[in-house]
Amino acid sequence: MARTIAALPAGARITDYISLGVITKTFPMATVRSVLAATEKSSVRQRDLPAHVVVYYVIALALYMQASYREVLRCLLEGIQWLLDPSAAVRVAGKSGISQARTRLGWEPLHRLHDAVVKPIAISATRGAWYRGWRLVSLDGSTLDVADEEANAAAFGRPGSSRGDGSGAYPQIRFVSLVENGTHVLFASRMAGCATGEITLAKAVLPSLQRGMLCLADRQFFGFALWHEARAGGADLLWRIKKNLRLACDERLADGSYLSQVYPSERDWRHKANGVRLRVIDYCLEGVADAEPIYRLVTTLLDHDKAPAKELAALYHERWEIETALDELKTHLRGAKIVLRSKTPDLVRQEFYGLMMAPFAIRSLIHEAALDADEDPDRLSFLHAVRVVRRKLPAYGALPPSAKEGLP
């Protein structure tokens, strides 16, 4: 019997079959279409690169930071090669067409998709994600270099150089994120120009803190206003503070910690008015080279029986999990010394949110594997997962065709 050659259904387009594997699993088509409709960016005309394809393409760009625009698209299109005559060439949109499609889409759909999907993923069985029932998260920020274009420099600024004249080699964006410590999922990320401080960006991130979370943060974030905002959603906090901050001992507890108050202003401190109660933990690291003489933590966990000081002092060093997560993003995924490729501010913002969504897809995959193996997600290699996804991405089609009928 003659073999029937597989073919695309009538009315289908090549881009309907772009292979995106784990990306489309993590960011379902229905969610993407909903975001596009909400931002009025859905494609009206039948284009080579419709809006939903461009969304997935921007996320995929983060997986191939060293490849050209066309090479990334070509990689994604290889998954449909089996549908065609092996000698037939797959038409790949040019750099100009890709740029126009990205410009039409803008950055708001990527931002909304990020906020809708990128969330903490640990469940009760996830190892290393919890402390006595609290979900561990950390707060921190970093920077990314962007393409050296006049528009980018005007929008985002340049970091200071060794001459102190603000003439760094590349324009730069600053971002602040929360990370779920146990899974290394970066979420609630916000970005701005490099002149915007981490405290300012943190104010936009803190509303994502929820009851049941225990947030760790370093000393540069502590201040009455930010502390108050971080507590507003019901989350508990464990932050390091400067050791010379004046905190009177109102009540010494059995584990050596003590209760104190912080105040919104000098005047309130003098009159002991409008204070907020917290618990202070002072400790030293004996036998550790280059350790500081004293470390000081403050926490909203006032009951020393439910959260002993020794446990919290040891737990605080879990904050470094966010440094590991940022290293995974900037070194293993993006690549060392790689500059974001977008040449306009709007496309930089678009690329940033694509970059933040790609590791979420990978970390979701790692989390599933860790649960199946009853293993701590930290023990599974992020770099290995990135390599597997890059290798397998062209092999699995996940976008449904636009035609009414499926494949033969």
The pLDDT of residue 399 is above 50: no
User: Around Cβ 125, how many Cβ atoms within 10 Å?
Assistant: 9
Question: What's the pLDDT score for residue 241?
Answer: 95
Strand pairing partners for 240?
A: 297
For residues 289-297, average pLDDT: 86
Where does 43-84 have alpha helices with state H?
Answer: 51-61, 69-77
Question: What's the pLDDT score for residue 38?
Answer: 96
The pLDDT of residue 313 is above 90: yes
Instruction: Give the model confidence (pLDDT) of 156-201 as tens digits.
Output: 999 986 555 555 689 999 999 999 999 999 999 999 999 999 999 9
In percent, the amount of the chain with pLDDT more than 90 equals 62
Question: What's the pLDDT score for residue 404?
Answer: 39
The pLDDT of residue 306 is above 50: yes
User: Around Cβ 145, how many Cβ atoms within 10 Å?
Assistant: 22
Mean pLDDT in the chain?
86
Q: Is the pTM of this model over 0.75?
A: yes
Q: Please give the angle made by the CA atoms of 257, 263 and 269, to the nearest 5 degrees.
A: 100
The pLDDT of residue 209 is above 90: yes
